[in-house]
Amino acid sequence: MTIQFSSRVANLKSSFIRDILTASQQPDVISFAGGLPDPRLFPMSALHQASEKVFQTWGGCAFQYGATQGLEVLRAYIAENLIHDVALTTDQLMITTGSQQGLHIVAECLLNPGDGVIVEAPSYLGALQVFASTGASVHSLQSDAEGPLMSSLESLLKTRRIKLIYCLPNFQNPTGKTYSLSRRQELSALLKNYPEVILLEDDPYYSLSYTGPSLPSLFSLLPGQSVRLCSFSKSIAPSFRLGWLQASGHLLGRFLKYKQIADLHSSGFLQALLVEFLQMDTLDSHLRRLREVYANRLDLMTEVLTTRLGNQLVFAKPSGGMFLWCQLRNPALNSSLLFKQAMAQKVAFVPSQAFYATHPNYGALRLNFTHSDDSKIKEGIHRLAKLF
């Protein structure tokens, strides 16, 4: 029997990264591959207290079916305490089952086959897969150190039927790049001339800035025309599978209808646990500790890389996030082939090929610096150095 799958999934490949992750999860491999936080830094004791509070004071109501949009008290906390650059009501927020679900919902609600989507090159693989499944036409944007080039964006907007622009303005995955303030302003000013285009701002690393306060979100500069996705996966813990989506009402209403058919609502128990955790007022001190440790690991990794591999790799040190993007100086080298040699040395990274929708580039490596401790960072770079 041959099953005819839908066109959505007929060509959907398993995530290259997930395959690499599986390979790199052998216990003796030092993995810089996954986008994983360090589980030793999860706020376990505060989460445990929060869980006790839910069992003691919420009781059965935390375990019943709930509203698709998410708990009002959680949305109110987010609006008041976690969004500083724009005033939002709880009506403009929706709780999602991780920000991956937010991405999927927005794409499903806005994209018909053939519609144009603009992405950065390179960009987050999970987003490229979502866009591919909708049958949209994906166009790649050129960038410099400050963010997307306006000339490249305007030329696409003028010549293609564009519906959506997907941006990661803070500590981009995979490059670690952050858009400058002036580039954010230019981008939102340009998009005001194309009111039918929606800007999708993916901001999962917003709480991981190592050099001071974050710049204003694109959403705050273009509120009626944009959607912002945030996650608790990097700031608290991934397995909560909780994030939020910001959008104006005319968009959010449609997203809610789609979320209803996708999973009814996100876990009310986990939302209650998150509310109790947030109300303990330990998030700020937790994030300060997280940023301190991760910033030190980034410092260490860039130092060791410069010493051991400075003649082989070029990188710009990111100001936040989880990733360091290292370009190979030797244009004859291919990072996908290098990956196989690296696995033989028991060290893993993600080769650049994975992050391109069109015209793959084989000339770079994505290294995660948040999951491994200092000694593993040193040993892992030492193993990497043997490849050259």
108 belongs to the binding site for its own copies (CB under 8 A): yes
Q: For its own copies, which stretch binds (CB under 8 A), given 124-132, 208-216, 277-285, 300-308?
A: 124-132
For the stretch 199-212, what's the b/e string if a residue is b when 16 or more beta carbons lie within 10 angstroms of its beta carbon?
bbbbbbbbbbbbee
Closest CA to 298 of 274, 275, 321: 321
C-beta of residue 201 within 8 angstroms of C-beta of residue 167: yes
Span 140-169, contacts to its own copies by CB under 8 A: 163
| DSSP per residue, 185-200 | HHHHHHHTT-TTPEEE
C-beta of residue 344 within 8 angstroms of C-beta of residue 386: no
Structural tokens at position 267 = 């876990």
**CB nearer to its own copies: pick between 111 and 283:** 111
Span 183-242, contacts to its own copies by CB under 8 A: 195-196, 198, 224-225, 233, 237-241
Span 64-83, contacts to its own copies by CB under 8 A: 64-66, 68
Q: For its own copies, which stretch binds (CB under 8 A), given 9-17, 181-189, 292-300, 321-329?
A: 9-17
Q: What's the min distance (Å) between Cβ of 196 and its own copies?
A: 7
Q: For its own copies, which stretch binds (CB under 8 A), given 85-93, 108-116, 150-158, 360-368?
A: 108-116
Span 317-346, contacts to its own copies by CB under 8 A: none
C-beta of residue 225 within 8 angstroms of C-beta of residue 251: no
126 belongs to the binding site for its own copies (CB under 8 A): yes
137 belongs to the binding site for its own copies (CB under 8 A): no
122 belongs to the binding site for its own copies (CB under 8 A): no
Q: What's the min distance (Å) between Cβ of 122 and its own copies?
A: 18
**CB nearer to its own copies: pick between 60 and 212:** 60
Binding test (CB under 8 A) with its own copies, winner from 27, 28, 40, 151: 40
Binding test (CB under 8 A) with its own copies, winner from 24, 31, 101, 220: 101
Binding test (CB under 8 A) with its own copies, winner from 16, 63, 362, 388: 63
Span 247-276, contacts to its own copies by CB under 8 A: 250-251, 254, 256-258, 260-270
Q: For its own copies, which stretch binds (CB under 8 A), given 96-104, 169-177, 311-319, 379-387?
A: 96-104
**CB nearer to its own copies: pick between 56 and 151:** 56
At residue 337, the 3 state secondary structure works out as: helix
The long-range contacts involving 246-253, CB below 8 angstroms and separated by at least 24 positions, are 246/83, 246/88, 246/92, 246/93, 246/219, 247/92, 247/94, 248/92, 248/223, 248/224, 249/91, 249/92, 251/109, 251/198, 251/227, 252/91, 252/92, 252/93, 252/94
Q: What is the distance between the alpha carbons of residues 155 and 176, in angstroms, rounded to a whole number?
A: 25
**CB nearer to its own copies: pick between 126 and 388:** 126
**CB nearer to its own copies: pick between 192 and 288:** 192
The long-range contacts involving 213-218, CB below 8 angstroms and separated by at least 24 positions, are 214/170, 214/320, 215/169, 215/170, 215/178, 215/179, 215/180, 215/181, 215/184, 216/85, 216/181, 216/184, 217/85, 217/86, 217/169, 218/167, 218/169, 218/179, 218/184, 218/187, 218/188
**CB nearer to its own copies: pick between 131 and 315:** 131
For residue 113, give the DSSP letter: T
Q: What's the min distance (Å) between Cβ of 108 and its own copies?
A: 6
Q: For its own copies, which stretch binds (CB under 8 A), given 63-71, 141-149, 314-322, 353-361?
A: 63-71
Q: For its own copies, which stretch binds (CB under 8 A), given 84-92, 95-103, 213-221, 313-321?
A: 95-103
Identify residue 231 by its one-letter amino acid code.
S
Q: For its own copies, which stretch binds (CB under 8 A), given 1-9, 206-214, 285-293, 374-382?
A: 1-9
Number of residues that bind its own copies (CB under 8 A): 79
27 belongs to the binding site for its own copies (CB under 8 A): no
